[in-house]
Amino acid sequence: FVCTQQDLLPCKSFPETLLFQLLGLSIATLSTVTHYGLHFSLISNISLNSNAYRAIHHTAFYFGICLSMTLILAALLSSAATVRESQCLTAMGFFCFALAFCGLIPAACWRYTHSTEVEDSMMDVYDFVYEEVRRNTSSFRRHELTAIHEAFLCCGKHSPFGDTTNVENKTCPEDQVHGEGQDCLQEIQDLVKKHMDFVFSLLGIAIGFTVYGMILTSFLWFSIHFSSNLYRKGKYILR
Res. 201: pLDDT tops 80: yes
Tally of residues, the chain: 239
What pLDDT is attached to residue 181? 58
pLDDT tens by residue, 31-72: 999 999 999 999 999 887 778 899 999 999 999 999 999 999
At 86, the pLDDT band (50, 70, 90 cuts) reads confident
What's the burial of 149, exposed, middle or buried (CB within 10 Å: 0-12/13-18/19+)? buried
Give the list of residues 6+ apart from residue 96 with CB closer than 8 angstroms, or none.
70, 71, 73, 74, 77
pLDDT tens by residue, 156-178: 876 554 455 677 777 787 766 55
**Cα–Cα dist 151/30, whole Å:** 19
Give the list of residues 6+ apart from residue 149 with CB closer than 8 angstroms, or none.
155, 156, 171, 172, 173, 176, 181, 184
What pLDDT is attached to residue 153? 86
For helices 52-84 and 117-135, the axis angle rounded to 10 degrees is 150
